[in-house]
Structure 1
Amino acid sequence: MLFDWAAQPFFTVVTTFVFGPYFVARLTEDPVAAQAMWSNMATVSSIVIALLSPVLGAIADQSGPRKPWIACFAVVKIASLAMLWFAAPGSALVWPVTFMILASIAAEFSIVFNDSMMPRLVPASEVGRVSNTAWGLGYLGGMVVLIFVVGFLAADPKTGVTILGMAPLFGLDPALGEDARITGPLAAGWYLLFILPMFFFTPDAKRGEPMKKAVLSGVRELSATLSELVTRRKTILRFLIARMLYQDGVNGLLILGGAFAAGMFGWATLEIGLFGILINVVAIFSCLAAGHLDRLSGSKTVVILSLVLLLIATLGIISTAPGYILFGLVPLSPVDTGGVFATSAEKVYLLFGALIGMAFGPVQASSRSYLSRSVHPDEAGRYFGIYALSGRATSFMATLSFSLVTYASGSARLGMAMLILFLLAGLVLLIGTRYPAVERPEER
């Protein structure tokens, strides 16, 4: 569980709510081009993750221990995040994009190995509860870091003080984006500190084959697993395809949602941070509730309900603009009342953000428990590698669709609308998929 606590601040304060919006709104003077560049970063990362995750998972099953892999990727992630400090306004975009790609790849590969440990550690009856609780603990960790950033580091560039009315700690200058740039080193240090309990106290798999032999065996095992999915385990294949589609939409919301708000409303680090705190508070309690619902009604029920909420939220987000909601059917007062979230449209956007907070944790945690209940511990590495593939194989399509539509139309709103297609397609396919995804004897 502490692995999720350690890993989440990268996604919360760097990718989604602070550094990502800073990259879009303040690193350059062209927010539309910056949004597309940020989307391209996610596309490249997703392609690499999709290609290599199944291979690494299969190798892990043959070599045995997962911790050495997690340690290697931790070094890459921590070093890359530390380098984000140098992404000052006006600097070339290529370097922060490169370090974000490396950090994203290392983070996702670490998750593959962490997730594949779970079937050995947790009884099948408790997988859903533990997975959702861990995910909620991750959001709590992300929120703690986000609150620290908003309260003590992020200042209004005009006044130079934080929301608590104090000067930023460490003498950070918001005019130079230092309050956003510090999130890279901060997330790196948090990750380094809190992954240590997993290394010290969590049992690992026994050592298997030597690495060279494990690589060859792993590649062969992966090929056999893919063949097995097509011929004998079609229910798991159907689930993985459904998850591939709806996870594309989820990834798109996580990567682009904060940047979209920053571009539309001109939100700075303070507003984005408060928005992120709202979402994370809702996410923590929704994950705890979803853990109990998962145990009572199953992972499939949780995933379906979450997808419905995400569809409503995404439709609401793209239909909202300064002055109206629902594509203009409902006008809103454009008057700026002062302070944060000063317009009616911004307040409505917060409500849709709360819906995302209710859904995007449980949809991922219960998807993880869905698969964990469907495979044997000895095959968890290769199947969670393919699971990572299903979450990333076409995730570049969501961000690529956003980029292409945004470039062609000049409207990030139309780009965000593409996410609805992925969420809806995954939901439709999942509804017809048996749970758990275990073949009946007569179907083998």
Structure 2
Amino acid sequence: MTLPPEPPADAPRNFPPSPLTPADGAAATIGVTTDHVEAVSEAGARKGRILAWGLWDWGSAAFNAVVTTFVFTVYLTGESFGPKGTVEAQLGWALAIAGLLIALLAPITGQRSDTSGRRKLWLAVNTYIVVLITLAMFFVLPAPEYLMLGLFLVAAGNVFFEFAGVNYNAMLVQVSTPRSIGKVSGFGWGMGYVGGIVLLLVVYFGFIQPEVGLFGVTNANGLDVRVTMLVSAIWFGLFALPVLLAVPEYRNPAAVDRGKVGFFASYARLGRDIKRLWNEQRDTVWFLLASAVFRDGLAGVFTFGGVLAASVFGFSPGEVIIFAIAANVVAGVSTIAVGALDDRLGAKPVIITALIGLVVSGLIVFFLHDGGQIVFWTAGLALCLFVGPAQSASRTFLARLIPAGREGEVFGLYATTGRAVSFLAPTAFALFVTIGGEPYFGILGIVLVIALGLALLIPVKAAPVRR
């Protein structure tokens, strides 16, 4: 994968100033100073910093792909831990609690790290807490008495991973310029997909698939999965180092000028920012709400995809990983390919088409769940086909809608609102599994969240596409 090209020498060196500082550093804080842009535009250092920044995304696949989606959660919902249907619901409730904590705490973590000028420090702290939590998963043996420990570790890992992501995403402007910010962001996104594929191949052929894997590891007492957690922790820990070593700390003067406030006062400040945006750009607020809902549904597709493959369609752990690799390839290719349609037709038609495709594919999985693995291979990959374009186009939709000079503020709220409803999909999944008594009912919960986001999006007016 090649790095984004250096911008032309005559590229503008100023990001448009933003009247408000984003409440959440998770977004690309676009309003920065000329001195900052000059600092990150040095030809000799910039590409190295982009690579270092992207390697965190590469490494984070250890938690996204291996822990929460295709390996550990699949292991944790196996028959060794409890009755079918019960363990899946418990996983959903654990993730719902984690989502609620994220909603309560994440909106102000970026705000406070920006004003303290210690963004990189908090990236390091939260990242290595996730690494330690992943290491601790080695001690989750395949027995019912270890289920609560496993659920606690998954939930806690999700909370601290989101906190790390707040600071990581906020560092985007430290490695990009106005002309390259989209390419750099896409490079990081692509590194995450590729990193997930590579790591899944490593653990599949190294530990999961062979009867006797590397270092004599077998599946006795879940050792293959437990050692995979050790490998994942080391993977994330190593690839998180470059961004901490190569990218300098940066203090946004606009954020610091706002002054430090107490914990609860941070929420008051967030409320004032949202009220101001509501009064001046109401369509933007409605899109923030709609995208928060459907993006949580998209996250639910990946979070529970592996669990459903194993518990409903009888995929073995190895088959789940093979599906995961295919899913990452499909999602990555479709996201890149649909970018041209976004530029030609606009983001809203792309998002609506993708969301409709997700709802239809999800319903096919639900109603044809007795059809065997071929159903999940076709309809499941169709779900992945639509996930990436919906995520990517939602960002460009917002970029076209924002009034000039308010990009940083609104993208900050974009990240904030997404986290504020991050409990929806896990709660809906757990609720439908509990009501229906079978894991496949959870599919309806995810579809419902996506459909709700679609309904909220339809009346939002899109900005015209500039040609």
Q: Which residue of 2 aligns with 1:60?
A: 113
**Which of 79-88 and 401-410 deviates more?**
401-410
Match 1:76 to one of 126, 129, 132: 129
State the Cα distance separating 1:288 from its structure 2 match.
2.5
- Counterparts of 1:146 and 1:377, CA distance in 2: 42
Q: Which residue of 2 aligns with 1:419?
A: 446
- Counterparts of 1:197 and 1:351, CA distance in 2: 39
State the Cα distance separating 1:133 from its structure 2 match.
3.8
**1:93 counterpart SS class:** helix
Equivalent runs, 1:300-319 vs 2, <5 Å:
300-319=348-367
- Counterparts of 1:63 and 1:297, CA distance in 2: 42
Cα gap change, 1:365 to 1:310, in 2 (>3 Å): same
Q: Which residue of 2 aligns with 1:355?
A: 382
8 Å CA contact 2:208–2:219 kept in 1: the answer is yes
- Counterparts of 2:406 and 2:335, CA distance in 1: 28
State the Cα distance separating 1:376 from its structure 2 match.
7.7
8 Å CA contact 2:127–2:164 kept in 1: the answer is yes
State the Cα distance separating 1:281 from its structure 2 match.
1.5
8 Å CA contact 1:74–1:106 kept in 2: the answer is yes
Q: In structure 2, give the amino acid aligned to 1:275.
A: F
Q: Which residue of 1 aligns with 2:39?
A: none
- Counterparts of 1:411 and 1:245, CA distance in 2: 25
Q: In structure 2, give the amino acid aligned to 1:423.
A: I
Equivalent runs, 1:275-424 vs 2, <5 Å:
275-322=323-370, 324=371, 345-371=372-398, 374=402, 380=408, 383-384=410-411, 386-424=413-451
Q: Is residue 2:260 matched to residue 1:260?
A: no
State the Cα distance separating 1:13 from its structure 2 match.
1.2
**1:31 counterpart SS class:** coil
Q: Which residue of 1 aligns with 2:192?
A: 138
Q: Is residue 2:162 matched to residue 1:108?
A: yes
Cα gap change, 1:259 to 1:75, in 2 (>3 Å): same
Q: Is residue 2:260 matched to residue 1:214?
A: yes
Cα gap change, 1:348 to 1:252, in 2 (>3 Å): same
- Counterparts of 1:224 and 1:197, CA distance in 2: 37
Match 1:188 to one of 213, 233, 238: 233
State the Cα distance separating 1:416 from its structure 2 match.
1.5
Cα gap change, 1:58 to 1:435, in 2 (>3 Å): farther
8 Å CA contact 2:132–2:233 kept in 1: the answer is yes
**Which of 262-271 and 237-246 deviates more?**
262-271
State the Cα distance separating 1:385 from its structure 2 match.
5.1
Q: Which residue of 1 aligns with 2:243?
A: 198
Cα gap change, 1:129 to 1:292, in 2 (>3 Å): farther
- Counterparts of 2:360 and 2:103, CA distance in 1: 28
State the Cα distance separating 1:148 from its structure 2 match.
1.0
Q: Which runs of 5+ in 2 are unaligned?
A: 1-53
- Counterparts of 2:331 and 2:375, CA distance in 1: 18
Q: Is residue 2:104 matched to residue 1:51?
A: yes
State the Cα distance separating 1:124 from its structure 2 match.
5.5
**Which of 123-132 and 413-422 deviates more?**
123-132
Q: Which residue of 2 aligns with 1:440?
A: none
- Counterparts of 2:406 and 2:246, CA distance in 1: 21
8 Å CA contact 2:217–2:224 kept in 1: the answer is yes
8 Å CA contact 1:238–1:433 kept in 2: the answer is yes
Q: Which residue of 2 aligns with 1:154?
A: 208
Cα gap change, 1:50 to 1:126, in 2 (>3 Å): same
CA displacement 1:94-136 (0-9 Å, x = unmatched) = 1111111121111112222222333565455655444344322
Q: Which residue of 1 aligns with 2:150?
A: 96
- Counterparts of 1:384 and 1:219, CA distance in 2: 17
Cα gap change, 1:134 to 1:377, in 2 (>3 Å): farther
Q: Is residue 2:322 matched to residue 1:274?
A: yes
8 Å CA contact 1:245–1:426 kept in 2: the answer is yes
- Counterparts of 2:232 and 2:171, CA distance in 1: 24
8 Å CA contact 2:93–2:430 kept in 1: the answer is yes
CA displacement 1:178-216 (0-9 Å, x = unmatched) = 222233222222221212232233354326578995244
Q: Which residue of 2 aligns with 1:176?
A: 221
TM-score by length of structure 2 reads 0.79
8 Å CA contact 2:59–2:239 kept in 1: the answer is yes
8 Å CA contact 1:247–1:391 kept in 2: the answer is yes
**2:333 counterpart SS class:** helix
8 Å CA contact 2:174–2:247 kept in 1: the answer is no
TM-score by length of structure 1 reads 0.82
**Which of 397-406 and 385-394 deviates more?**
385-394
- Counterparts of 2:329 and 2:385, CA distance in 1: 9
State the Cα distance separating 1:66 from its structure 2 match.
2.3
- Counterparts of 1:20 and 1:69, CA distance in 2: 27
Q: Is residue 2:53 matched to residue 1:7?
A: no
Q: Percent same amino acid at aligned positions?
A: 31
Cα gap change, 1:63 to 1:136, in 2 (>3 Å): same
Cα gap change, 1:186 to 1:299, in 2 (>3 Å): farther
8 Å CA contact 1:8–1:138 kept in 2: the answer is yes
Q: Which residue of 1 aligns with 2:46?
A: none
Q: Which runs of 5+ in 1 are unaligned?
A: 156-160, 325-344, 438-444
**1:30 counterpart SS class:** coil
- Counterparts of 1:181 and 1:118, CA distance in 2: 34
Cα gap change, 1:185 to 1:26, in 2 (>3 Å): farther
Match 1:35 to one of 52, 70, 88: 88
8 Å CA contact 1:135–1:287 kept in 2: the answer is no
Q: Is residue 2:271 matched to residue 1:223?
A: yes
- Counterparts of 1:172 and 1:236, CA distance in 2: 53
- Counterparts of 2:288 and 2:106, CA distance in 1: 14
State the Cα distance separating 1:150 from its structure 2 match.
1.3
Cα gap change, 1:370 to 1:402, in 2 (>3 Å): same
- Counterparts of 1:300 and 1:132, CA distance in 2: 19
- Counterparts of 2:368 and 2:134, CA distance in 1: 33
> What is the root-mean-square deviation of aligned Cα atoms in Å?
2.8
Match 2:292 to one of 244, 250, 254: 244
Cα gap change, 1:27 to 1:237, in 2 (>3 Å): farther
State the Cα distance separating 1:17 from its structure 2 match.
0.8
Equivalent runs, 1:123-134 vs 2, <5 Å:
127-134=181-188
